[in-house]
Amino acid sequence: MYLCNTKNPLDCIMNYSFSVRMNGVPKSFIREILKVASDPSFISFAGGLPNKDLFPVEGLRKATEKVFKTDGKNILQYSTTEGYKPLREFIANRYKTHKGIEVNPDNILITTGSQQGLDLLGKIFINEGDNVLIEEPAYLGAIQALSVYKPVFTAIPLNHEGMDVQILKKALFSSRFKLFYAVPNFQNPSGITYTSENRKEVAGLIEKAGIVMVEDDPYGELRFLGEQEASFKTLIPDNVMMLGSFSKIVAPSFRLGWVVAPDEVYEKLVVAKQATDLHTSYIAQRIVYQFLIDDDLDKHIQNIRDAYGKQREAMVDAIKKLMPKEVKFTLPEGGMFLWLTLPNHLSSMTLFNKCIERKVAFVPGNPFYVNKNDVSTMRLNFSCSNADEIYEGIGRMAEALKEMM
């Protein structure tokens, strides 16, 4: 790749020769859509953002004021790679009280968003060519983060129970896998939650196959219907690395997430984290910790659940009333997304283009698959639109769809 005179190493022309690892990393198609949909006359179900009207602005403002007043110099200094200990203790305690999971704070690593948790786990576990199990459809950010380390993905379809156990079993018999990545609660993009029975079956297989499981749970606290299911961590503790995030329950702009990992893995993660960005913003950790101990987080989360629950109801109702009966869709019990499947293998990209003309946006399913191009599925976000917008937007989509059918 060097444009050089082979006889004289000091006779070359500058030419950027990139690493092979970046070749297969997909760009975010969603970002491109968001640019189109940023026109305020658009109704957008394309985003993946929490609703900013629910951010605890005043609580965070007060927390910030307090940390500046009480510890001004120290909150501005470098800090430890592992993260602020009291914040890790808070997280450990919440696992115990809210999910019945015993976690030692020394097994919690604070990360720059849970996206960084994915990068670090990819870094420490994946060699080029390693087999990795993901869901189909899968969280795009995980595909991106792990792709950098050049695994071979096998995607296991989701159904209304969770993961398709028969297909998973078949895959486990065909290859050895290094890692299994899943979002068992209100999955992004599908909104699907694994049932209790499905969790047990999947966990049993993963345990028997000796595979590291990454259990990503950014939306777990945002349940507005039904009962909480057991974390995979309680079923197969040695296999599971848990990822968590404050982005959906406090605010995303701090970039605060965490990984829970057994000692042996934790040590590797700390070395990788140090090489990657030394540590996560310490002032961000201090502000959010102050907010968590001074405010009523449970009450705040209940507000989010109430709001998202109503928005989800509006979207389900609008789809039932306005869309052709042949359209299938998931019924999420929490989170921010709903997954819609068109009849007769109609193309969601074609629908997307027709919808853009009508100033309504969503994310066609394509980027959530590792090896499918034209699909009939799409992701709809309901957390950032009010009921009127939802009825209007679904109405416009329905019109466009009827034209196609």
Judged by CB under 8 A, the chain residues 133 through 172 that form the site for its own copies are 141, 144-145, 147-149, 172
Chain residues 111-130 in contact with its own copies, contact rule CB under 8 A: 111-113, 115-116, 119, 123-127
| Token pair recorded at residue 8 | 């004289």
Angle, nearest 10°, between helix axes 113-125 and 263-277? 110
- Please identify which residue in 7, 40, 41, 53 interacts with its own copies, judged by CB under 8 A: 53
Query: Residues near 359 by Cβ (< 8 Å), separated by ≥ 6?
Result: 39, 41, 42, 43, 396
- Please identify which residue in 77, 97, 344, 373 interacts with its own copies, judged by CB under 8 A: 77
- Please identify which residue in 100, 129, 157, 210 interacts with its own copies, judged by CB under 8 A: 210
- Please identify which residue in 68, 343, 356, 359 interacts with its own copies, judged by CB under 8 A: 68
Considering the rule CB under 8 A, would residue 264 count as an interface residue with its own copies? yes
Distance CA 74, CA 271 (A): 24
Question: What is the DSSP secondary structure assignment for residue 363, as one 8-state letter?
Answer: E
Distance CA 239, CA 33 (A): 37
Considering the rule CB under 8 A, would residue 230 count as an interface residue with its own copies? no
- Please identify which residue in 36, 38, 39, 52 interacts with its own copies, judged by CB under 8 A: 52
**In the complex, minimum distance from the CB of residue 2 to its own copies, in angstroms, rounded to a whole number:** 6
Contact between residue 182 and residue 163 where contact means Cβ atoms under 8 Å apart: yes
Distance CA 50, CA 222 (A): 11
**In the complex, minimum distance from the CB of residue 382 to its own copies, in angstroms, rounded to a whole number:** 17
Distance of CA 37 to the CA centre of its chain: 21
Q: How close are the terminal C-alpha atoms of the chain, in Å?
A: 51
Query: Residues near 2 by Cβ (< 8 Å), separated by ≥ 6?
Result: 12, 15, 17
Q: Toward its own copies, which CB reaches closer, 40 or 173?
A: 173
**In the complex, minimum distance from the CB of residue 267 to its own copies, in angstroms, rounded to a whole number:** 9
Q: Toward its own copies, which CB reaches closer, 204 or 226?
A: 204
Considering the rule CB under 8 A, would residue 37 count as an interface residue with its own copies? no
Q: Toward its own copies, which CB reaches closer, 11 or 106?
A: 11
Considering the rule CB under 8 A, would residue 212 count as an interface residue with its own copies? yes
Chain residues 288-347 in contact with its own copies, contact rule CB under 8 A: none
Do the bridges between strand 131-136 and strand 152-159 make them parallel or antiparallel, or are there none, so unpaired?
Answer: parallel
Instruction: Count interface residues toward its own copies (CB under 8 A).
Output: 93
Considering the rule CB under 8 A, would residue 371 count as an interface residue with its own copies? no
Query: Residues near 170 by Cβ (< 8 Å), separated by ≥ 6?
Result: none
